[in-house]
Structure 1
Amino acid sequence: MKLAGWIFLLVSLGVGGAGLYLYLAFPFLALPTPWGLWPLYLVLPGAYALGLSVGGLYALALGLGGVLGRRALLREIRRLQGELSALKRERIEEIPRIPDREEA
């Protein structure tokens, strides 16, 4: 997990540095969009942030699915344990008593 944190930090710094470089060296570069011209130094970090937020939402959805799946499995285990204890109560086997031993 530490490695993933360092990689995330380095990539984020790289994207920020690339945006700053584009701002300082090529402020005139722009991309045409339906909403007008957008400067490239804003589009690059914006696209990175958009991808990061979509990835975060995907991770949250995946985690939520795991929690719900675990809850369903635990519910099934409790149900099966209840069935097993009911079967044990129905079928009580007598333990033979040995006459020369004391009861525990």
Structure 2
Amino acid sequence: MKLAHWVFLLVTLGVAGAGFYLYLAFPFLEVPTPLGSWPLYYLLPGAYALGFLVGGVYALVLWLWGVGERRALLREVRRLQGEVNALKRERIEEIPRIPDREEV
């Protein structure tokens, strides 16, 4: 996990550095959009942030799906434990008692 955090930090710093470089070196580069011309140094970090947000939403949905699956599995385990306990109550096996030992 530490490696993933370091990679995320380095990529974020790289994108911020590239945006700053575009701002200093090529401030005249613009991309036409339906909302007017936007400078390229806005679009690079903006696209990165949008990708980060989409990835965050994906991770949140995946986590919620995992929570639901965990609840379903725990419900199934509890049901099976109840069945096992019911079977144990039906069929009580006698434990042999050794006369020279105390009962625990």
Output the TM-score relative to the length of structure 2. Answer: 0.88
Q: Which residue pairs with 1:54 in the alignment?
A: 54
Q: Deviations 1:74-102 (Å, cap 9, x if unpaired)?
A: 1100010001111111122344667xx25
Q: Deviations 1:26-57 (Å, cap 9, x if unpaired)?
A: 11111111111111000000000000111111
Count how many residue pairs are aligned between Structure 1 and Structure 2. Answer: 102
Q: Distance in 2 between matches of 1:21 and 1:95?
A: 80
Identity among equivalent positions (%) equals: 75
Select between 1-10 and 47-56 the one with higher mean Cα deviation: 1-10
Q: Distance in 2 between matches of 1:42 and 1:97?
A: 82
Q: Distance in 2 between matches of 1:97 and 1:77?
A: 33
Q: Which residue pairs with 2:76 in the alignment?
A: 76
Give secondary structure in 2 for the equivalent of 1:89.
helix
Segments of structure 1 that go 5 or more residues without pairing to the other structure are none
Output the TM-score relative to the length of structure 1. Answer: 0.88
Call closer, same or farther: CA 1:25–1:95 in 2, change over 3 Å.
closer
Give secondary structure in 2 for the equivalent of 1:38.
strand
Aligned Cα RMSD in Å? Answer: 1.6
* Superposition map of 1:16-27 within 5 A: 16-27=16-27
